[in-house]
């Protein structure tokens, strides 16, 4: 899944819907957030909800997302990679 632009209170419901839909499958979920320029706490809540419902999203964060994860002390809570290729390799093994 690729997310671009701003993730805030207005756009988070769409992200949550798509995460829940994707997390319901049996395949690992890679969330490419490298195109995210602003990431509010509403986006973080979406990721945590997906994880709590059995999804194991593997993140590829942009600097904006990485900053929120670090400030929230959640950078080690969800698996993440520095590149999409690395994330895909990790979930494939």
Tens digit of pLDDT at every position of the chain (93 positions)? 999 999 999 999 999 999 888 876 667 889 999 999 999 999 999 998 888 776 678 999 999 999 999 999 887 788 899 999 999 999 888
Q: Which distant-in-sequence residues (6+ apart) come within 8 Å of 37 by Cβ? A: 5, 6, 62, 64
pTM of the model: 0.89
Distance CA 89, CA 47 (A): 21
Distance CA 82, CA 10 (A): 27
| Domains of the chain with bracketed CATH | 2-92 (3.30.750.24)
pLDDT attached to residue 75:
77
pLDDT attached to residue 39:
97
């Amino acid at each position: 899944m690729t997310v671009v632009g701003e993730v805030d209170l207005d756009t988070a419901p769409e992200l949550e819907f798509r995460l829940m839909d994707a997390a319901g499958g049996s395949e690992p979920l890679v969330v490419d957030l490298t195109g995210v320029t602003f990431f509010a706490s509403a986006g973080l809540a979406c990721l945590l909800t997906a994880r709590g419902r059995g999804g194991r999203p593997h993140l590829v964060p942009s600097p904006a997302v990485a900053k929120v994860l670090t400030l929230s002390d959640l950078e080690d809570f969800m698996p993440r990679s520095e590149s999409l290729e690395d994330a895909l390799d990790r979930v494939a093994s």
